[in-house]
Amino acid sequence: MALKFSVLASGSTGNAIYVEAEEQSFLIDAGLSGKQIEGLFQQINRDIKTVNGIFVTHEHADHIKGVGILARKHKIPVYANTKTWKAMEPLIGDISPELKFNFEMEKVISFGSVDVESFGVSHDAAEPMFYIFHHEGKKLVTITDTGYVSNRMVGQIKNADYYIFESNHDVEMLRMGKYPWNIKRRILSDVGHVSNEDAAYAMSECIGDQTKGIYLAHLSKDNNMKELARMSVSQVLEEKGFIVGEQIALYDTDPKIPTALRAV
């Protein structure tokens, strides 16, 4: 069975990504209420009870809101690194020891024929990291909360089949917008979120012969719009010589509507 995924929800109101392969299925983050995530599973015709693990990226509420409730209700194992466990434990309630697993940064854990790899990002949390899925030569990269994309990260995430990539804000909208200055400064910093342009420059370094598409994720609801994100990213990619729409497809994600299941 092919590696498949759906971005169930993406944005500052809550994030969750569904991945499946070979009778196994996983969630990256569960940043909405348990009920909302169960509803999203119904929309993609999948059963949350069969999930083999929730991989937590970092302890911000938009990534962990439903982790505790779903783990307890459906007995789903939860994976996170030691520092993230420490930071999120007081926030998600008791998780029984048999459902608690460590997944340290820069490690690979194999689930049957699926290799899950973690890599560090630059974001204002205890020890934020994201996950890469490898299966039968295919590669799916998720990266939705980082202030910048380092050369080291580019090396790790290069030439994936698909990317779920942060395209958080339009710099002008953020600068002109209503957010207080300290919040603006946080978002624009190296440990905040990447802008449409910065995302596009990073992606242009990552795209390889295997790359088919990019899902633009974690769009700010106040400082971005789907069309603007797509346009800004396309423009940079085309400047860099890629043919958007033919060579590389760009896809929207939504805070409430899951993307159609895609085989990688």
Contacts to Zn ion by CB under 5 A: 60, 62, 145
C-beta separation of 156 from 132 below 8 A: yes
User: How far is residue 54's CA from residue 74's CA, in Å, rounded to a whole number?
Assistant: 11
Residues 6 or more apart in contact with residue 85 via CB below 8 angstroms: 100, 102
Q: Whose Cβ is closer to Zn ion: residue 167's or residue 211's?
A: 167
- Count the residues in the chain: 264
Q: Whose Cβ is closer to Zn ion: residue 60's or residue 139's?
A: 60
Q: Whose Cβ is closer to Zn ion: residue 36's or residue 211's?
A: 36
- CB 130, min distance to Zn ion, A: 11
- CB 239, min distance to Zn ion, A: 28
User: Mapping DSSP to helix (H, G, I), strand (E, B) and coil, where does residue 258 land?
Assistant: coil
3-state secondary structure string across 129-175:
EEEEEEECCEEEEEECCCCCCCHHHHHHHCCCCEEEEECCECHHHHH
Residues 6 or more apart in contact with residue 218 via CB below 8 angstroms: 10, 11, 12, 15, 144, 145, 166, 167, 168, 193, 253
- CB 261, min distance to Zn ion, A: 23
6: its two tokens: 């759906």
Q: Whose Cβ is closer to Zn ion: residue 78's or residue 129's?
A: 129
- CB 57, min distance to Zn ion, A: 8
- CB 193, min distance to Zn ion, A: 8
Find, among 86, 77, 155, the residue nearest to 127 by Cα. Answer: 86
221: its two tokens: 């609801």
- CB 27, min distance to Zn ion, A: 15
Q: Whose Cβ is closer to Zn ion: residue 166's or residue 170's?
A: 166
Q: Whose Cβ is closer to Zn ion: residue 121's or residue 202's?
A: 121
Query: Which one-letter amino acid corresponds to residue 38?
Result: E
- CB 159, min distance to Zn ion, A: 25
- Using CA atoms, how far residue 45 sits from 18, 19, 173, 260, in Å, is 12, 13, 37, 10
Q: Whose Cβ is closer to Zn ion: residue 161's or residue 198's?
A: 198
User: How far is residue 83's CA from residue 59's CA, in Å, rounded to a whole number?
Assistant: 9
